[in-house]
Amino acid sequence: MYSDPKNCLYCQNNETLHQLMIEIAPLKVSRLFLFKEQTYRGRCLVAYNQHVNDLNELTDEERNDFMADVARATRAMQQAFQPEKINYGAYSDKLSHLHFHLAPKYVDGPDYGGTFQMNPGKVYLTDEEYAALIEQIKRYL
């Protein structure tokens, strides 16, 4: 199912988006966000700047730029938080705006060795704690 850009939280930069995430920084062809739900400490999302439904709709150059943004974000996350692994998720069943979920996984942390949960709803932080995570990521961007 393709979503309409007029109903897309990334394109509209709407309240739903701001309830779920905090924008960290613009990247070359995308935007980097921190999830407010932090079961996976440092969890982020990279959303493509334009409303495309799938990675395969991009030219080779656009795809390479987008994946370079994803790699740039995960490098910063790796340096900032030292997770054992970062899981990537590109799910767009109901919201077909190209984006990647980036979920750091820690050996003794939730769901290590399995698939991360989309929104477990367990861990929310203070504004100061979000700001500290964002600063850690920005330090390495």
Per-residue pLDDT of 91-139, as tens digits, reads: 877 778 999 999 999 999 999 999 999 889 999 999 999 999 999 999 9
Per-residue pLDDT of 47-74, as tens digits, reads: 999 999 999 999 999 999 999 999 999 9
Give me the CATH number covering residue 107: 3.30.428.10
Q: Which domain holds residue 37?
A: 5-140
Per-residue pLDDT of 9-51, as tens digits, reads: 999 999 999 999 999 999 999 999 999 999 999 999 999 999 9
Reported pTM: 0.95
Domain count for the chain: 1
One DSSP character per residue, the chain reads -PPPGGG-HHHHT-HHHHHHEEEEEE-SSEEEEEES--SSTT-EEEEESS--S-GGGS-HHHHHHHHHHHHHHHHHHHHHH--SEEEEE---SS--S-EEEEEEE-TTSTTTTSPPPS--------HHHHHHHHHHHHHH-
